[in-house]
Structure formats: C-alpha cells, structure tokens
Amino acid sequence: MRSNSAPVTLPPDIRLMNAVTALLLAAMVLTAAALALRWVVRLPVFAIRAIQVEGDVTRNSEASLRANALPRLSGSFLSLNLQEGRDAFEAVPWVRRAVVKRVWPSRLLVNLEEHRPSAYWETKADGADAQSDASVERLLVNSYGEVFQANLGDVEDDDLPVLAGPAGTAPAMLQMWQRLQKVSATIGEQLERLDLSGRGSWRVSFEKGAVIELGRGSEAEILARYGQFIHSITQITSLNRAPLLSADLRHADGYAVRLSGISTTPNQVKPGLNGRPKKN
C-alpha cells in the first residue's frame, strides 16, 4: 500500500533553536581546539633551543645581542611572532635591519645588517644659521643617508665629517657632501663639515679651518660654482703666499676671499681666460 503523507515541517521557533544549538556546538569545538593548540605550542618540546646569528656582527658581540634582544622575545618556536622578533633585534644598537626565520625543529636563524656610519648628524632648528652649537644632539648618518643613534665613542677614530641641516635632509646632504668632497680632493682638501640652513643656503668647512659660503641654488648650480672656485683658488693663495681663511661664493660674477695675514678688504675675484684669476 503506497503512502501519500507529506513531509513534516517544523515550526519556525524549533528551526531557530536547532540552528542556535548547532552554532553553539561549533563555537565550543573551535574554542576547545584553540585552547588545545595553545597548550601544545607551549610544550617544552617546542621551546627555542638555539639562535644562530649571521651577517654583520662587527659592532655587536654575541653577549650584547643576547642582552638587548632576548628579553624582547616571547613565545615558543611555533608561537613566536616573527615581526616582533625582527623588531627585537633591530632595537639593538648598530643593527639597521634584521631578518628572522624559523629552522625546524627548534632554532631561529637571524641575519643582521649593521649601520655603516658615513657622517655625524646635527639637526638644525628652523631659522638656525650658526655653524656649531654645543647643545645640539649629535647623531650618526649611515651610508643610506639614514639618521640613527649609537655610541659615538665607537666611531671616534673614524674621522667622520659633520652634516648639519633641517630634519629630513640627511640623504640629500650626504650626497652633496660626497660630490663636493670629490671636487675638493683635486686640490688635496678634506671637507670637515657641511651646513645647510633652513633657507637652503650651503656652507662647507675645510679640515684646515677655511669656511666657504656656497649660497643657494640647485645641486648642479652649487657644484658648478664650487668647481670654478676650486679651479682658481690655489692660484690666488700661491700668488699671495697666504692660506685661505674664508670665501664667499654668493656673488653673481665672482667670489670674495679672505687670506691669512692680509688685513685689507677681501677682493672680489672671478676666473679670467685660461682659468687664471683676475681681480675686479
């Protein structure tokens, strides 16, 4: 005998109750699984047993890395946040960049890149134009033009130049110093300091004490102006048999110089034919 009875439809409130029950059971299962996983990853078998450091370790010893980085690490081999591990090692003095990787079953591999100091850095306040201020905090600039803080005693024998300018100008100043120094080397001079004012005016100081006002302009204009000066200044100092004390290159048609032992008003000089200087 064939049955023609229709399927039974549950009332809406019963269907809702069943759905809520299913969701609660699923939540309980997921919570239990998460707690179990959390317990498992904290087992001693998953503890970090070794940290291998590679790369640049010139400025940091194993002891200094342990003292500065290990207290910042938390978690086991499985639960350690690699970004937090990277931050822990990059907080160590002289470390510019760190890459942290897991090596199964219980080792961390850390590859370090250290800062390579290229110059001292002094941040010049807006409107400040003084050449040196003992109250200014001195930091360091690396080979990428990045400003960083470290023990200055570690570089006291490195004979680094000083860059002083507004915040954020270190990369441009390092590039300018490198190009100006290349020009200076043609007459055997070493640039000890490079200043950039808030108004964009450049000044260089020679290691022997002379100060050169370069004025404002694009990098190409400053380099051209300075190159013309370097090309003729040795003829001026040789002709007068006196070392250079200062020069002002901010004149439109030449530059003014002040020589040691010569008390007259500085002469405005511009190169003549064949590169020989002539006085106005």
Q: Are residues 202 and 79 in the same domain?
A: no
Last residue of a domain, one of 59, 93, 114: 114
Domain that holds residue 86: 47-114
Determine the pLDDT at residue 279.
Answer: 42
Q: Are residues 160 and 93 in the same domain?
A: no
From 36-40, 160-164, 192-196, 238-242, the region with the lowest mean pLDDT:
36-40
Residue 32 falls inside a structural domain: no
Residue 248: CATH number of its domain? 3.40.50.11690
Average pLDDT over residues 54-62: 88
Q: Are residues 74 and 212 in the same domain?
A: no
Structure tokens at 237: 């100092």
Q: In what order do the strands lie in the sheet with 147-148?
A: 147-148, 138-142, 117-123, 162-165, 191-196, 202-206, 211-215, 244-251, 254-259, 268-271, 277-279
Residue 135 falls inside a structural domain: yes
Residue 107 falls inside a structural domain: yes
Report the chain's mean pLDDT, rounded to a whole number.
Answer: 84
Residue 66: CATH number of its domain? 3.10.20.310
Structure tokens at 239: 């002709």
Mind listing the pLDDT tens digit for each residue in 139-158?
A: 999 999 999 999 999 999 89
Q: Are residues 67 and 124 in the same domain?
A: no
Mind listing the pLDDT tens digit for each residue in 216-265?
A: 999 999 999 999 999 999 999 999 899 999 999 998 888 899 999 875 44
> Which residues does 174 contact at the CB level (< 8 Å), separation at least 6?
118, 119, 141, 145, 163
Q: Are residues 93 and 204 in the same domain?
A: no
Last residue of a domain, one of 98, 114, 130: 114
Q: Are strands 211-215 and 244-251 parallel, antiparallel or unpaired?
A: parallel
Bin 217: left if φ > 0, else alpha if -120 < ψ < 50, else beta.
left
Neighbours of 137 (CB within 10 A): 8
| Spatial distance between the Cα atoms of 82 and 111, rounded to a whole number of angstroms | 13
Q: Is 155 helix (H, G, I), strand (E, B) or coil?
A: helix
Residue 41 falls inside a structural domain: no
Q: Answer whether residue 161 shows pLDDT above 70.
A: yes
Q: Are residues 141 and 201 in the same domain?
A: yes
- Output the DSSP codes for 172-210: HHHHHHHHHHHHHGGGT--EEEEEE-TTS-EEEEETTS-
- Look at 83 and 128; give whichever has higher pLDDT: 83
Last residue of a domain, one of 65, 93, 114: 114
Q: Are residues 106 and 126 in the same domain?
A: no
Residue 59 falls inside a structural domain: yes
CA-to-CA separations, 106 to 49, 63, 150, in angstroms, rounded: 6, 21, 32
Q: Are residues 65 and 159 in the same domain?
A: no
Determine the pLDDT at residue 165.
Answer: 97
b/e per residue 206-244 (b: at least 16 CB within 10 A): beeebbbbbbebeeeebbebbebbbebbeebbeeeeeeb
The total number of structural domains in the chain stands at 2
Q: Answer whether residue 212 shows pLDDT above 60.
A: yes
Average pLDDT over residues 161-181: 98
Q: Answer whether residue 191 shows pLDDT above 80.
A: yes
Q: Give the up-direction half-sphere exposure of residue 16: CA atoms within 13 A in the CB hemisphere.
A: 3
Q: Are residues 109 and 129 in the same domain?
A: no
Q: Is 232 helix (H, G, I), strand (E, B) or coil?
A: helix
Q: Answer whether residue 51 shows pLDDT above 70.
A: yes
Q: Answer whether residue 175 shows pLDDT above 70.
A: yes
